[in-house]
Structure 1
Amino acid sequence: MKAWVLGGAAALSATMIATAAWADEGMWLPRQTQDIAAQVRAAGLEIDPALLSNLQAAPLNAIVSLGGCSASFVSPQGLVATNHHCVQGSLQYNSSPDQDRLTNGFLARRLQDEVRAAPGSRIFVIEELRDVTADMNRGLTARTTGIDRYNRLEENRKSLIAACERQPSRRCDVRAYYGGSTYFLQQQLEIKDVRLVYAPAMGIGNFGGETDNWMWPRHTGDFGFYRAYVAPDGSSADYSEANVPYRPRSHLRIATEGVTDGDFVMVAGFPGTTSRLVTAEEAIFQFDQLYPVQTRLLTDYANLIEQRTEGDQAAQIKYASILAGVENYEKKSQGEIAGAKAIDLAARKTEQQNAYRSWIREGGRRRQPYATAARDLDALVQEANATALADTRLGTINRAQLYAAAKLLYRYAQEQQKPDAERESGYQQRDRLPIQQRLQQIERRYDARVDRAVLEQALVEYRKVDAASRDAAFERTLEQIGLDRLYADTELDETAARLAWLDRPVADFERSTDPFIRLAVASYDWGLRRETEAKTRAGRTQAARSVYLQGMREWADANGRPLYPDANGSLRFTYGKVTGRQRDGLIWTPFTTAEGLLAKHTGEGEFDLPDRAVELIRDRDYGRYVAPSLGTLPVDYLSTVDITNGNSGSATLNARGEFVGLAFDGTLDGVISDWSYDPTINRTIHVDSRFMLWTMDKVDGADRLLEEMGVRR
């Protein structure tokens, strides 16, 4: 663990700071490899550590993003491996009561049998991660604050993105690191034609369901495959029958041997968000006040969907991916609350903060900018905390899909009145196709009866907020329309009607009699005012936090430990070892096995293995996929690698950079690592590549894919 994580590190000797646990912590930027090369080698890496900073070579240039999950190329024909729960939306989109691929799985026996993924599905191939801090800070001074600072940063950001995206089929973004003290531009090739290739039955891909989610022991084959397609000339193109499989610059080699207890492993992917560098006050508020409300709202939401879809298979299919996402975050939030108590997060963060600020005071005038930033940041955190609970309750309204769609359409129309460079991010010309596809997705994920119940539930929470903070125009308009007419008179429940609004002028919206459009128009001014308030605070916060965290980096360097930035959706790598866990009265071995999988099988609900898998396990027909150290077929394994949401689907690599599985989950008490990493409890769960290959080979007969991946010659 790095010095700044240890709490009172300023008072500790160098020997005490240098703990062995440090090597297992960190979501490292590729360029930081040089800072930790000795530690990675000592941990067991066999390839040159410099390869982990090279985006033009394997393994990193085989790592891709799906826009919410991570994935990797595993064949020269653009075959992409990721988690089952990352392809679940496409399984759901391609399912119906008569052809339930969500439950039964899907395998394209031939290339031409591969089906289009859900609208909006993308594969993003990393090409560059470039420092653009100087460009982002152009035009800023110490006196630029509030909305002016926000707008200048946004203007600079959009300019950089526009220049990057002049290259065809590139998707670029500029992300803040260390609170905005550093910025990097991430350039990716955007592959638009994504097809579903293979996913096992739900009884393997989501075995254990919500019951086993975030738990160990785990027995889930959480894997699935997409394929990237491009035009015949190799350029990125929309779906066409003439398109051909993409040929990546490199792909991951499937290891001929699996991992064993104590082996070095690493994970590369696109972790979403962590909050390890926040102040103590932010963490304490989150766990004492905000998380309990958010968790209760998620529980209510999940229960409502289950109740309103019970006995209706079509509705259950429509809401399957939504419900899975809600339940996942609900359970994670519960785990984080419990984890914060278990490690005494409040005391840990306070001790760490006190140590850092003691270092600031010891530096006298030289460190005065950090002291000023600390005071400013503390005041801004109090402001943000004061509005957070109300924002959470008010935001539940957007769960109503047609209302959210109407707001999206009207805001898009408003932004189209401006030059493209001046439009709000998310509503520029580059965003038109993703918006269109979001509107299309509703057709397979919407049921009027369920959506109305969701809105009614949200309105109860909405009205708990003080009237002065609510949207009076929205409330008046909703009262005039009434919920019956809101759903009976709308045309937005038809995909063609939704898409027809996409390029219509503002005046058409303001004349519309569609009840959801009327609601969107009524709520626009209130929403814009709140957005401006949030931007003003964001600009002030960036000014303070960027300086505050620059000081924290200096503090960490003074203790001889480089500081990795919080996760923000950009490419990172992390490493550790395969290992179990022990705590009072409980031992977790690092592997689960096929026999344990069969022992959990009940033939019902979440524990219903396919008949073929049951037969094979009973016969111990594991072929060449047996782990010699176990004497049987491994299913999942634990490691100490440091991941979070967004890492789902990340390739797990051995010391030689070969594919040995997929990261897919953590343990419930370990999810507190989003706020503070603890090596004694932090564990990541991986599906073992041997179980993946066994399922493909023995259960589903995916011979074509195995040959393509080089597993069979």
Structure 2
Amino acid sequence: MRITFITILTLLFSSALKADEGMWLPFLLSDNQIENMQQKGLHIPFESVYSHSQPSLKDAVVSLDDGACTGEFISSKGLLLTNHHCGYNEIQQHSSLEHNYLEDGFWAKSLSEELPNPGKTATLLIEAHDVSTRIGKAVDTLNGSERQLAVDSLIEVIEQEAYERTKLKARVKSFFYGNTYILFLTQTYKDVRLVGTPPSSIGKFGGDTDNWMWPRHTGDFSFFRVYCAPDGSPAEYSPNNIPFTPRKHFQISTQGYQKGDFTMTLGYPGHTQRYLSSFGVKEIKEVVNPVVAEVRGIKQAIWDKAMQRSEATNIKYAAKYSSSSNYWKYAIGQNKAMEKLGVIAQRKDKEASFKNWIGQDSLLEDKYGKLLPVIEASYMLGKKLTHAKTVTEETMLQGTELVGFALEISTLFMELQEHREKPTFKQHKAEVLSTIHSLYKDYDAHLDQQVFEVMLKYYLNNIPESLRPNAESLLGKKYMDDPSGYTSELFKTTAFTNPQKVLALFKTNDEETLFGDPAIAFSYQVLSHVYQIIEVHEKLLIQFKDSQRLLLQGYMSQGHQQSFYPDANSTLRLSYGFVGDYEPKDGVKYKYLTTLKGIIEKENKELTDFNVPIQLKRLYQNKDFGDYQLPNGQMPVCFLTNNDITGGNSGSPVINGKGELIGLAFDGNWEAMTSDLAFETDLQKCICVDIRYVLLVVDKMAQAHNLIEEMDFVEP
């Protein structure tokens, strides 16, 4: 039987769905599911949540930095609220020993004080359209590389047609492993300025210790503002730009919530793999995650020692360390959760059920019978390639900064040559030089040399020569058995550890010297072998991709009453659930709410992660909470829901049944670290910062009354 898009939707919204599971494409929600949401507590018309034709809440939500995080407009002047960790790179970039915004926080008292952030973007979804039928008809009889080429060509045509019609950025994305295709029309704003941030003692309170944990007491928020050209169109940074006026912004409720209250999130979750086979899950557990955890742990230990010794180094590497350690802890936690929750066994049970089902019908057996064996063989054949690729990425391409510099700067140099005869050459050159300055602003060559040596040894010792450059080719005959000696010589002779030398090469247009640099030779050899691995892997995956697509079709047609929503892929998603308590294990029950009292109880002056700002302690001692306190006089900080989120949802608005902002999502929980692979109904939680705590810090601690005045509050 051929699975149509209508069939998928029918299964997608079966009556057996659990309200708290699913990262839903809001424009594909059925009338039945919207009615279900309203029965559970949504009190506004769904057109107020999502609409193409009229302003709706989706117009108040943006994708930050191409899906890295989510933000929401909270004023008519483009004021944007997101997580502290989503703005951490920008906060760090603006910090110095003289102005340490990481430690002290930052609050602009006027528009003129707001800080520009080259490269930071905010993207709005304007429209989305299903183009599955058009693509499906054209490729229905095709398979393998022939099918993929046809799909890619047709997508290019559809995107070009949409751009010519709307002048908006058009992008077609695949869902359900190529069973569905959606066209997205978006608009990206490139002038996004830092408005305010609490000190890290609030924004990162608890640090790595509390990361992925509950109870939580982190004020994970920061403010930005989106600017545009005077005519309202997107524009690069200019002092002549004006604050952007969104079609819709959130009203803020300070009325709070109770256990069992309906909640909803809108955001841009990045990547899930909930339809991955047992073989794919096993590869993540046994091949990918152990490398990520081990390599990042080694690198972070080196960084940490240097950061402890020097405040300047601590500022330079704060954002890098935070980014690395988040995924490091995630890899560790995901493996532990997979083991505890038996995720691989669950997938095997599902696959066994599927085999039994198709075994009852010869037509189904003919269509689906070979899929799981092909998928299993693909993983078996590709295991060594996946391991080599992961080790290379973690040690060379992401582990040491020198390789990244060599690859990025050489690319910038080549791009600049292409612009040499164009009228925009001077502007492009200025942008390139600015990028180089920003690369080296937070670079410590001595520290990177320590990291490089350890990463190089790991790379050589953990990848067979058949899947990497041989030692003599990579290090030279003199140092082929001496990685430490090679590292020392490389860092002495390369220009890429010194921004002045690199800039001199650009100014003199010395292509021969730049591409003759030993760091370039080393990096290009590593990159070349990565490309070879990817090319071989792609050939192995030709049959795999067809099998995965057809397997998902088979699961859908099997008729199980289960939820079928597409994996996250940085497109706008809606989730809904409820405020609730948390029972992670036998005999343990956590309340859904934490308060400022918990921050005071956690204070530890010996541990940086648990320092409490003196101003916050004074507010607590004086009970100076204003209108933001609970009826019992306590000050709320964080709360729990069972909304379905993942990375990319950071900063997503948490909305009550009236469509009002009550908080923002910022984390998940340790016991459900398998959430990207499987939703755990009884365990999975969304950790949110209460909007009242955000307002307390802005109003009472930062005295940023200018921001409070432009926000739109719901009348009690």
Q: Normalised by the shorter chain, which TM-score bucket? A: 0.7 to 0.9
How far the C-alpha of 1:560 sits from its partner, in A, is: 4.5
Letter in 1 for 2:129: R
Deviation at 1:238, TM superposition (A): 1.0
Does 1:73 find its partner at 2:73?
Answer: yes
What's the CA shift for 1:353?
2.1
The residue type paired with residue 92 of structure 2 is Q
- Residues 54 and 712 (structure 1 numbering): CA distance in 2 closer, same or farther, change over 3 Å? closer
Change (3 A) 1:58 1:383: same
What is the aligned partner in structure 1 of residue 695 from structure 2?
693
Give the aligned partner of residue 358 of structure 2.
360
Counterpart-to-counterpart distance in 2, 1:667 and 1:434 = 41
Q: CA deviation at 1:504?
A: 11
Which whole-Å deviations, capped at 9, do the CAs of 1:390-425 have from their partners, x for residues lacking one? 221122211222312322455677899999xxxxxx
| Percent of residue pairs bearing the same amino acid type | 30
Name the residue aligned to 1:542.
545
Preserved contact between residue 251 and residue 714 of structure 2 (Cα < 8 Å): no
Task: Give the counterpart of 1:320 among 318, 321, 342.
Answer: 318
Q: Which amino acid aligns with 2:491?
A: Y
Q: Which amino acid aligns with 1:43?
A: K
Secondary structure in 2 matching 1:646 = coil
2:679 and 2:313 mapped to 1: Cα distance?
40
State how 1:26-425 maps to structure 2 within 5 Å.
26-34=22-30, 36-55=33-52, 56-67=54-65, 68-117=68-117, 119-133=118-132, 140=139, 142=141, 144-146=143-145, 149-164=147-162, 170-366=168-364, 368-395=366-393, 396-398=395-397, 399-410=399-410
Give the match's secondary structure for 1:267: strand
Question: Which residue number in structure 2 is paired with residue 531 of structure 1?
Answer: 534
2-structure distance, mates of 1:577, 1:433: 51
Q: TM-score, normalised by structure 2?
A: 0.88
Amino acid across the alignment from 1:370: Y
42-51 vs 641-650, greater mean Cα deviation: 42-51
Aligned ranges 1:497-516 → 2 under 5 Å: 508=511, 512-516=515-519
Indicate conservation of the 8 Å contact 2:252/2:714, yes or no: no
1:133·1:184 contact (CA, 8 Å) conserved in 2?
Answer: yes
Q: Could you tell which deviates more after superposition, 407-416 or 460-469?
A: 407-416
In the TM superposition, residue 492 of structure 1 has moved relative to its aligned partner by 3.2
CA contact (8 A) 1:266 1:654 kept: yes
Q: How does 1:14-25 map to 2 (within 5 A)?
A: 22-25=18-21
CA deviation after TM superposition for structure 1 residue 94, in Å: 0.1
Distance 1:94 1:168 in 2: 37
Structure 2 segments unaligned to the other structure (5+ residues): 1-10, 420-427, 480-485
Change (3 A) 1:44 1:110: same
**Cα pair distance change 1:306/1:644, threshold 3 Å:** same
Distance 2:134 2:476 in 1: 46
Structure 2 residue 574 is the aligned partner of structure 1 residue 570: no
Cα distance in structure 2, aligned partners of 1:121 and 1:511:
29
Distance verdict in 2 for CA 1:164–1:485, change over 3 Å: farther
Contact 1:634 1:690 in 2 (8 A): yes
Moved more, 76-85 or 494-503: 494-503
How far apart, in 1, do the equivalents of 2:429 and 2:330 lie?
A: 33
Q: Which moved more, 1:178-187 or 1:371-380?
A: 371-380
Q: Which residue of 1 aligns with 2:5?
A: none
After superposition, the Cα gap between the structure-2 partners of 1:708 and 1:648, relative to the gap in structure 1 and judged at 3 Å, is same
Name the aligned partner's letter for residue 284 of structure 1: K
Tell me, in whole angstroms, the C-alpha distance in 1 between the residues paired with 2:34 and 2:73. 25
* Equivalent runs, 1:386-465 vs 2, <5 Å: 386-395=384-393, 396-398=395-397, 399-410=399-410, 439=436, 441-463=438-460, 464-465=462-463
SS state at 2:334 partner: helix
- For residues 144 and 437 of structure 1, the distance between their equivalents in structure 2, rounded to whole angstroms, comes to 46
Show the counterpart of 2:3.
none
Alpha carbons of structure 1 residues 588 and 245: separation in structure 2 relative to 1, 3 Å? same
CA RMSD of aligned residues (A): 3.2
1:490 aligned partner: 494
User: Is contact 1:409-1:501 (8 Å) kept?
Assistant: no
Give per-residue Cα distances to partners, 1:188-210, cap 9 Å, x unaligned. 21111110000111111111111
The number of residue pairs the alignment matches comes to: 680
The SS at the match of 1:251 is: coil
Q: State the secondary structure of the residue aligned to 1:84.
A: coil
How many angstroms does 1:526 deviate by?
3.2
Q: After TM superposition, give the deviation of residue 660 of structure 1 in Å.
A: 0.5
What's the offset of the Cα at 1:134? 5.0
Taking a change above 3 Å as real, the CA distance of residues 480 and 509 of structure 1, as seen in their structure-2 partners, is: farther
**What does the per-residue CA deviation read over 1:579-599, in whole Å, with 9 as the maximum and x for residues that have no partner?**
012231211000001111111
Cα distance change of structure 1 residues 116 and 153 upon mapping to structure 2, 3 Å threshold:
same
The one-letter amino acid of 2:391's match is R
Q: Is the 8 A contact 1:23 1:40 kept in 2?
A: yes
Tell me, yes or no, if the aligned pair for 2:49 and 2:659 is still in contact at 8 Å. Answer: no
| Contact 2:416–2:429 (Cα < 8 Å) also in 1 | no
Using the TM superposition, name which of 477-486 and 48-57 deviates more: 477-486
| Aligned-residue offset at 1:144 | 4.3
Preserved contact between residue 706 and residue 712 of structure 1 (Cα < 8 Å): no
- Provide the secondary structure at the position in 1 that maps to 2:201: helix
Q: Which amino acid aligns with 2:487?
A: L
Measured in 2, the distance between the counterparts of 1:437 and 1:266 equals: 41
Moved more, 74-83 or 130-139: 130-139
TM-score by length of 1: 0.88
Opposite residue 49 of structure 1, the aligned amino acid is F
User: Would the alpha carbon gap of residues 94 and 24 (structure 1) be closer, same or farther in structure 2, given more than 3 Å must change?
Assistant: same
Question: Partner letter of residue 593 of structure 2?
Answer: F
Partner SS, residue 227 of structure 2? strand
Once the two structures are TM-superposed, the CA of residue 349 in structure 1 deviates from its matched residue by: 1.4
**What secondary structure sits across from 1:340 in the alignment?**
helix
SS in 1 for 2:226: strand
> SS in structure 1 opposite 2:649?
coil
Equivalent position SS for 1:362: coil
| Alpha-carbon distance in 2 for matches of 1:351, 1:432 | 58
- Once the two structures are superposed, residues 454-475 of structure 1 have per-residue CA deviations (whole angstroms, 9 ceiling, x without a partner) of 2212112211211111123894
Cα gap change, 1:411/1:111 in structure 2, threshold over 3 Å: closer, same or farther? closer
Q: CA deviation at 1:137?
A: 5.8
User: 2:581 is matched by which residue type in structure 1?
Assistant: G
Q: What is the one-letter code of the residue matched to 2:622? A: D
1:610 aligns with 2:609: no
Cα distance in 2, alignment partners of residues 500 and 167 from structure 1: 45
1:295 Cα offset (Å): 1.4
The separation in 1 between residues aligned to 2:432 and 2:37, in whole angstroms, is 42
The residue aligned with 1:426 is none
Aligned to 1:673: 675
Name the structure 1 match of 2:521.
Answer: 518
